[in-house]
């Protein structure tokens, strides 16, 4: 028997050194663009005196385009950039990838995580087959067939229906592991079973979405590419040098054209290092700063009176609030920033035309986060910068997401019984039920309080939890409480590519395809480009896409109980991708059919400025400084200052994104481990002196939620009252998890637009002490 490995086996068994990965990145031109400058190398085709290989999978170097099949793909991760990708395949193996040059946003380049995709596909740690764990959490895994997996799950579903008289005991928690449009087929699969329990909302950006809905009637931001026209840019609570690397070229282009860039952030980030001016604001006081700046606009008669009088509602009441309650000195005291600096930047911002503020998602993850965003929106509106090219209060948009959602829309089986009464956290009724079923709906629970909801809900309790596109144990809050909640569940099914911390507690794990093994379509919540995602390689081992899993489960259920599931039992993923398109999408992007996307991504044919016609979607049709709709959700009509959460520990704890991972994805890939082998707690030298800590010491970080043990890194990039650790899942048995220290306290807004309030991720506190290594 031949022992020679086939190309796929070779790709999986390849172990790349840090040195060769750097060579691959250098050849692709990414090293010079890496946030933080991981390495500086010269130009040319030779690095470290050796021939550069474009990819660790390529043997013998780049062979010319004619040697490869070229496919179009798109990164579907929860990221601003949603990069358009060209993928090169030879002998059925993904050889290397690059950014699509047709997109002026992606512009031919990817981030360090993107260039690691080939290793992610061929990682030896991928889940290859359906697996059953004998004894939850025991690690005693057994390989099973797809037939056995589907039969086991289907039997449990039918048991729940028989026991409870409904399927409300089956719950779905799903979020942003893959934003490909056909992945909404997971929700479609659940609907095809009957009325179930859904964890609704988002941990990402809900408070800010509500704020912009109250102010403007919707969330809509300028095209990021028009920042080159900005004369003044404030980046407020965002770190695009790590989290939106492709946007940074527009910021720097504006700088070269004379724009001033101000970064406001509690942490001296890579973005702050590139700014003209940096303010280290006291965490959670952003609303006080915005209101103080607004008051100075009034005092100096810098308000665009024509704009607020013509296009706004309630401005007079807001100005009266500012005069009665806010001063620049008060804002300076709250924020820890000099009053003179606040005045100077306010005047500069008002004088610039156009001026813009990029509102980061981190600064709304507080108990006062929504009010903070409303105050910043008001500042932009008062200067007349909403509706201008190069202006705007930039947060995000869903303007290009008008697909058919064919995968998501499926009828429920005849006779399905559901939840009776009000369904959502704010008491909203399901509007999708027929007249005959008006009293029935899915049961909606808060996605940001998953542990507490599982523990509390009854009649019926949640018995089966389906987890897709999400790593609950790493990304949801209060890990210890989640583990207790999971003990209450009778069955946990996880669909994933890796044995992450959630999969470790599952009963059944199902292998999911990567983006290169599936058909779908992608757009961004930030830029305006549309990309097709072709199946570049056949699914490895026994991996299936979400919709293929739905079809397999439907086939099994209907064989056991005919009519119990309406999801198709056979499907073509490419045809399902095609079914997502409609005339509106084609018109918006100026194409006649989806096949044109095989030539490269295309950009929406729209004005680059959000609200350029100044026709807002609020009840008044104007920008609303005073929002009656906000009062319906328990908020003040005006964007007033709301105090931040009271501290429950000596130091604030921040857990932002790392540049090496996106939530719990990528860091577990061995290539990333070469760059970032272990987590650290970042400590200001003043705190280290107080606690007797030195660089490299092992420390215990603890609070009322739990604890973590990790090594100390000293830095004055964090405030003296703050501890910082980057969220990530390292894999390989590393139990590090920031959510051992993060509780599920809600932010102030989110229920209006997303169904549940957000979560105050950055309103957490902890103590630290040295421990033995």
Please provide the size of the chain in residues. 773
DSSP code for 226: G
CA distance 211 to 218: 9
Residue 662 CA neighbour count, 13 Å, CB half? 22
pLDDT band at 34; cut points 50, 70, 90: very low
Residue-wise pLDDT for 246-257, tens only, equals 999 999 999 999
**Three-class SS of 158-221:** HHHHHHHCCCCCEEEEECCCCCCHHHHHHHHHHHHHCCCEEEECCCCCHHHHHHHHHHHCCCCC
Closest C-alpha to 516, from 11, 4, 3, 1: 11
Element (H, E) at 47: strand 46-47
Residue-wise pLDDT for 333-388, tens only, equals 999 999 999 999 999 999 999 999 999 999 999 999 999 999 999 999 999 999 99
Tally: H helices and E strands in the chain: 26, 31
CA distance 418 to 518: 33
pLDDT band at 264; cut points 50, 70, 90: very high
pLDDT band at 4; cut points 50, 70, 90: low
Residue with tokens 């051992």: 740
Look at residue 177 in the predicted model and tell me its pLDDT: 85
Assess whether pLDDT exceeds 90 at residue 47. no
Assess whether pLDDT exceeds 60 at residue 479. yes
Strand 131-133 relative to strand 141-143, pairing: antiparallel
DSSP state letters, 236-281 = ES--HHHH-TTTHHHHHHHHHTT-EEEEE-SS--HHHHTSSEEE-P
pLDDT band at 666; cut points 50, 70, 90: confident
Mean pLDDT of 470-477: 94
pLDDT band at 507; cut points 50, 70, 90: very high
CA distance 699 to 710: 6
pLDDT band at 674; cut points 50, 70, 90: confident
Do residues 671 and 125 make contact, with C-beta atoms less than 8 angstroms apart? no
Assess whether pLDDT exceeds 80 at residue 396. yes
Look at residue 63 in the predicted model and tell me its pLDDT: 73
Look at residue 60 in the predicted model and tell me its pLDDT: 46
Look at residue 335 in the predicted model and tell me its pLDDT: 98
Do residues 633 and 426 make contact, with C-beta atoms less than 8 angstroms apart? yes
pTM: 0.92
CA distance 478 to 738: 9
Instruction: Using a pLDDT cut of 70, give the percent of the chain over it.
Output: 90
Residue 767 tokens read as: 């103590």
Closest C-alpha to 206, from 625, 769, 646, 757: 757
Cross-strand partners of 707: 702
Q: Lowest-confidence range among 281-295, 343-357, 730-744?
A: 730-744
Do residues 420 and 440 make contact, with C-beta atoms less than 8 angstroms apart? yes
Burial of 640 by CB count in 10 Å (0-12 exposed, 13-18 middle, 19+ buried)?
middle
DSSP code for 332: H
Closest C-alpha to 216, from 589, 625, 608: 625
Do residues 477 and 466 make contact, with C-beta atoms less than 8 angstroms apart? no
Residue 756 tokens read as: 């549940």
Assess whether pLDDT exceeds 60 at residue 17. no
Alpha helices per DSSP H over 29-141: 112-115, 117-121
Alpha helices per DSSP H over 441-570: 450-456, 472-475, 479-488, 546-560
Compare 17 and 507 and report the one with higher pLDDT. 507
Torsion, Cα 690 693 694 696, to 10 degrees, reads: -150
Q: Which residues of 53-84 are buried (b: 16+ CB within 10 A; e: fewer)?
A: bbbbbbeeebeeeeebeebbbbbbbbbbbbbb
Assess whether pLDDT exceeds 80 at residue 607. yes
CA distance 656 to 764: 12
What integer best gives the mean pLDDT of the chain? 91
Quick check: helix, strand or coil at residue 481? helix
pLDDT band at 734; cut points 50, 70, 90: confident
Residue 438 tokens read as: 């008006």
Look at residue 193 in the predicted model and tell me its pLDDT: 98
Mean pLDDT of 97-113: 95
Mean pLDDT of 714-729: 96
Look at residue 48 in the predicted model and tell me its pLDDT: 21
Look at residue 217 in the predicted model and tell me its pLDDT: 98
Mean pLDDT of 623-645: 98
pLDDT band at 498; cut points 50, 70, 90: very high
Residue 416 tokens read as: 């399905």
pLDDT band at 46; cut points 50, 70, 90: very low
Closest C-alpha to 515, from 577, 593, 471: 577
Closest C-alpha to 529, from 598, 604, 584: 604
**Three-class SS of 18-37:** HHHHHHHHHHHCCHHHCCCC
Q: How wide is the angle at C-alpha 479 spanned by C-alphas 476 and 485, nearest 5°?
A: 95
CA distance 614 to 592: 30
Residue 337 tokens read as: 């920033």
Look at residue 671 in the predicted model and tell me its pLDDT: 85
Look at residue 93 in the predicted model and tell me its pLDDT: 96
Look at residue 29 in the predicted model and tell me its pLDDT: 44
CA distance 228 to 226: 5
Give me the long-range contacts of 258-261 (CB less than 8 A, separation at least 24). 258/231, 259/230, 259/231, 259/232, 259/233, 259/352, 260/231, 260/232, 260/233, 260/348, 260/352, 261/233, 261/234, 261/235
Element (H, E) at 99: strand 93-99
Q: Lowest-confidence range among 419-423, 431-435, 511-515, 584-588?
A: 431-435
Q: Lowest-confidence range among 5-9, 168-172, 280-284?
A: 5-9
Residue with tokens 């003040």: 636
pLDDT band at 10; cut points 50, 70, 90: low
DSSP code for 288: H
Residue 583 CA neighbour count, 13 Å, CB half? 0
Strand 707-714 relative to strand 46-47, pairing: unpaired
DSSP state letters, 571-640 = --HHHHHHTT--HHHHHHHT-SSGGGGGG--EE--S-SSTTTT----STTSSEESS-HHHHHTTS-SS--
Backbone φ and ψ for 640, nearest 5 degrees, come out as -90, 165
Quick check: helix, strand or coil at residue 284? coil
Assess whether pLDDT exceeds 80 at residue 52. no
CA distance 162 to 561: 12
Residue-wise pLDDT for 70-102, tens only, equals 999 999 988 999 999 999 999 999 999 999 999
- How far lies 553's CA from each of 192, 498, 548, in Å? 11, 21, 9
pLDDT band at 25; cut points 50, 70, 90: low
3-state helix, strand and coil shares in percent for the chain, rounded to the nearest 5: 35, 20, 50
Do residues 523 and 400 make contact, with C-beta atoms less than 8 angstroms apart? yes
- How far lies 535's CA from each of 7, 71, 77, 103, 146, in Å? 18, 8, 17, 20, 22
CA distance 700 to 760: 23
Residue-wise pLDDT for 166-182, tens only, equals 999 999 999 988 989 99
DSSP state letters, 435-461 = GGGTTEEPEEEEGGGHHHHHHH--SSP
Element (H, E) at 674: helix 670-675
pLDDT band at 456; cut points 50, 70, 90: very high
Q: Lowest-confidence range among 28-32, 201-205, 385-389, 556-560?
A: 28-32
CA distance 669 to 123: 7
Look at residue 62 in the predicted model and tell me its pLDDT: 72
Cross-strand partners of 529: 603
Closest C-alpha to 519, from 411, 597, 402: 597
């Amino acid at each position: 028997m031949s022992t020679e490995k086939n190309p796929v086996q070779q790709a999986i068994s390849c172990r790349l050194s840090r040195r060769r990965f750097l060579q691959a990145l250098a050849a692709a031109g990414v090293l010079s663009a890496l946030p933080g400058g991981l390495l500086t190398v010269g130009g040319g085709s030779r690095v470290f005196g050796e021939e550069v290989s474009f990819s660790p999978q390529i043997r013998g170097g780049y062979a010319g385009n004619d040697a490869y099949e070229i496919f179009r793909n798109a990164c579907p991760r929860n990221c601003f950039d949603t990069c358009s990708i060209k993928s090169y395949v030879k002998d059925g193996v993904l050889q290397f990838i690059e950014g699509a040059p047709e997109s002026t946003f992606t512009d031919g380049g990817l981030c360090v995580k993107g260039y690691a995709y080939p290793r992610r596909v061929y990682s030896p740690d991928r889940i290859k087959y359906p697996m059953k764990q004998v004894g939850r959490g025991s690690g005693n895994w057994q390989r099973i067939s797809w037939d056995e997996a589907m039969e086991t799950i289907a039997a449990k579903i039918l048991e729940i229906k028989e026991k409870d008289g409904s399927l409300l005991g089956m719950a779905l928690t799903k979020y942003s592991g893959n934003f490909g449009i056909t992945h909404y087929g997971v929700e479609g699969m659940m609907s095809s079973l009957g009325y179930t329990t859904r964890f609704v909302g988002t941990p990402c950006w809900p408070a800010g979405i509500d704020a912009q809905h109250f102010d403007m009637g919707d969330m809509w931001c300028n095209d990021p590419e028009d920042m080159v026209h900005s004369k003044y840019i404030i980046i407020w609570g965002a770190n695009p040098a790590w989290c939106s690397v492709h946007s940074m070229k527009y910021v720097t282009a504006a700088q070269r054209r004379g724009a001033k860039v101000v970064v406001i952030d509690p942490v001296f980030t890579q973005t702050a290092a590139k700014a003209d001016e940096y303010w280290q604001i006291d965490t959670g006081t952003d609303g006080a700063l915005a209101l103080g700046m607004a008051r100075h606009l009034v005092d100096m008669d810098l308000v665009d009176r024509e704009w607020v009088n013509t296009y706004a509602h309630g401005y007079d009441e807001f100005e009266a609030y500012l005069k009665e309650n806010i001063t620049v000195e008060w804002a300076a005291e709250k924020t820890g920033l000099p009053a003179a600096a606040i005045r100077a930047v306010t005047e500069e911002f008002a004088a610039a035309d156009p001026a813009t503020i990029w509102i980061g998602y981190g600064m709304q993850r507080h108990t006062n986060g929504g009010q903070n965003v409303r105050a910043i929106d008001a500042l932009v509106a008062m200067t007349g910068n909403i509706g201008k090219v190069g202006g705007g209060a930039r947060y995000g948009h869903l303007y290009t997401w008008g697909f058919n959602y064919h995968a998501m829309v499926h009828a429920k089986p005849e006779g399905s019984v559901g939840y009776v009464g009000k369904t959502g956290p704010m008491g909203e009724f399901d509007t999708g039920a027929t007249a005959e079923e008006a009293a029935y709906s899915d049961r909606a629970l808060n996605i940001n309080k998953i542990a507490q909801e599982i523990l509390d809900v009854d009649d019926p309790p949640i018995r089966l939890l389906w987890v897709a596109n999400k790593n609950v144990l790493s990304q949801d809050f209060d890990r210890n409480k989640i583990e207790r909640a999971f003990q209450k569940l009778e069955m946990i099914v996880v669909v994933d590519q890796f044995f992450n911390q959630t999969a470790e507690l599952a009963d059944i794990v199902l292998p999911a395809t990567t983006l290169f093994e599936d058909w779908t379509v992608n757009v961004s919540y930030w830029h305006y480009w549309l990309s097709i995602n072709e199946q570049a390689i056949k699914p490895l081992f026994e991996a299936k896409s979400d919709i293929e899993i739905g079809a397999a489960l439907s086939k099994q259920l209907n064989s056991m109980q005919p009519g119990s599931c309406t999801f198709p039992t056979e499907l073509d993923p490419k045809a399902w991708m095609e079914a997502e398109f409609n005339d509106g999408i084609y018109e918006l992007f100026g194409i006649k059919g989806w096949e044109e996307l095989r030539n490269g991504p295309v950009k929406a044919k729209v004005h680059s400025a959000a609200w350029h016609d100044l026709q807002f979607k609020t009840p008044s049709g104007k920008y609303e400084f005073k929002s009656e709709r906000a009062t319906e959700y328990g908020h003040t009509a005006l964007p007033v200052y709301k105090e931040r959460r009271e501290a429950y520990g000596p130091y604030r704890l921040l857990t932002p994104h790392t540049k090496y991972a996106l939530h719990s994805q990528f860091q577990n890939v061995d290539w990333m481990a070469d760059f970032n082998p272990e987590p650290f707690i970042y400590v200001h030298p003043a705190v280290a002196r107080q606690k007797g800590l030195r660089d490299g010491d092992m420390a215990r970080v603890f609070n009322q939620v739990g604890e973590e043990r990790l090594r100390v890194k000293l830095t004055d990039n964090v405030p003296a009252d703050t501890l910082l650790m980057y969220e990530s899942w390292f894999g390989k048995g590393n139990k590090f998890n920031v959510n051992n220290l993060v509780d599920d306290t809600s932010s102030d807004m989110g229920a209006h637009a997303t169904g549940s309030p957000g979560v105050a991720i950055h309103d957490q506190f902890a103590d630290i002490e040295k421990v033995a290594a």
